[in-house]
Chain A
């Protein structure tokens, strides 16, 4: 079959690879209908997460049709149109029972690397390096999904492929941030990053009752989408002082909830951005936390901060003093998609949550290298490049 693979730093190829097999009784195999680039892929692409092997199949956000199911699969059948969750989660361990699916004890078949890095291993993530289980990803004609009953969700008939696709990760991650940050009616929420996840976090905050929602970015097309499709207020950090702007617009308090949806390759137009770039390139820090620092400083006293952006290891100049003395609550997580996908699909069916606008570029799989190039460089207003392996 054809698949888009990582072949080196900033190199994506389309290659002929073997088809996946059922390796466990709980597995399902999907024929992939659509699979989409995610901002977190860029950390793999750029070599910032150095656990990719040349030839690894990329992709973890996808929709497809079940074409094969293992003998222990009970609730899915061949022919089901399903959205897949990025993380392999067993559904039976203590973490899964707490609905913390990305922390599944059994989802990473090779947990030694992440236990060495982080002291504990989260679950395994499809198409996301050998540190996260070494699973082949979804930018392919077929994908194996471990624990098929837990990791796939039947899509209601009235929901289009492209709308449902984003329930897999962008919408579920965004929703998780707004939910676990404790957003409640009347809150003021600020989101850093107007990519797919940031937009979905903002939309989730609005649907959870936030009275005012801001999204911070610098890309005009993305800020326009925030205004048009999400209905939130856009702040262009390249044209204004974000901290001053937020204080001015919140009666001097700052947002109740701050959600960081940028991650380890944050940009900044100021000296902080230069500082972080230099330190990262010299390997004196692994991650650039520019947006995260700003979120800590912006958050109101006693407020809540959630990081959805992916970080790998170390950051420098993290304002821990502000975090502690302002009494902030700080949380983060990889996506517990299984917890949110059912509700999101229902909201998509009711028309409360639309995502099609994120798919700015729909391409055949053969154009995956160009898709990643556009996505990485944000060319031609690219918010997400969607690949259609079947076409």
Chain B
């Protein structure tokens, strides 16, 4: 295999490793780190409510399911409850049947997107950003992978 092809393949593996590392980090239960995504079995994970608190009138959310969640159709149950202390509404969703990690990630992204659209009117973008020369190091590619995965991971 020619060297450029080998390097490209290595870079691809590092990116995947970074993405995977972030996913794994969320499931670690070492003291003080990785307390984000839950570690349930697939059945329980699918049935767990994932929620964001949105500073808005709960009635507004009950009237119309936010578009990012509506895209899932009847695969999702959506629940809206008033948040305590004048914090707006708790917008929660869960799958009706077992799903993959990837699908859970898509739900996390959708909930965040729904919240942003309601609170600010748009979804904040961070690409493309000005940057200089990106050295194609394994560490750098691993960070690229983490970055790509970041929107689909976290506490939800």
Contact = CB atoms under 8 A, between A and B. Distances in A.
Nearest to B108: A112
A110 B125 contact: no
B151 A109 contact: yes
Interface string B34-71: 11110000000000000011010000000000000000
A313 interface: yes
Given A110-B150, A112-B22, A130-B147, A93 B140 contact: no
B121 interface: yes
Given A109-B151, A115-B154, A25 B122 contact: yes
A7 interface: yes
Contact of B26 (A18, A93, A116, A120): A116
A275 interface: no
B82 interface: no
| From A23, A54, A88, A314, residue with most partner B Cβ within 10 Å | A54
Given A110-B126, A112-B22, A54 B155 contact: no
A19 interface: yes
Interface in B1-41: 22, 25-26, 32-37
B32 A314 contact: yes
Interface in A1-29: 1, 3, 5, 7-8, 13, 15-21, 23-26
Contacts of B154: 111-112, 115-116, 121
Nearest to A107: B124
A94 B34 CA distance: 25
Contacts of A3: 130, 132
Interface string B83-104: 0000110000000000000000
Given A53-B140, A112-B153, A130-B146, A19 B130 contact: yes
Contact of B119 (A15, A20, A106, A116): A106
A69 to B, nearest CB: 15
Contact of A106 (B22, B120, B131, B135): B120
A146 interface: yes
A112 B152 contact: yes
Interface residues of B, number: 48
A72 B121 contact: yes
Given A109-B124, A314-B32, A94 B88 contact: yes
A299 to B, nearest CB: 24
Given A92-B120, A134-B147, A54 B129 contact: no
A166 interface: no
Contact of B132 (A13, A109, A115): A13
B33 to A, nearest CB: 7
A140 interface: yes
Contacts of A105: 52, 115, 119
A57 B126 contact: no
Given A5-B131, A53-B131, A105-B115, A24 B153 contact: no
A134 B148 CA distance: 11
A97 interface: yes
B130 A17 contact: yes
Interface in A96-117: 97, 105-107, 109-113, 115-117
Given A54-B133, A97-B55, A106-B116, A119 B35 contact: yes
Please list the 10 inter-chain residue pairs (A to B) with the smallest Cβ-Cβ separation, ordered nearest first. Answer: A112-B153, A110-B150, A112-B150, A15-B132, A115-B154, A55-B132, A109-B126, A5-B132, A55-B131, A23-B125
Given A110-B147, A112-B36, A116-B25, 4 more contacts: A8-B135, A54-B133, A57-B129, A72-B121
23 contacts: A5-B131, A7-B135, A17-B130, A17-B132, A18-B128, A18-B131, A20-B130, A23-B127, A26-B120, A57-B130, A72-B121, A93-B55, A112-B26, A112-B36, A112-B150, A113-B147, A116-B26, A116-B154, A124-B126, A130-B143, A134-B129, A136-B131, A313-B32
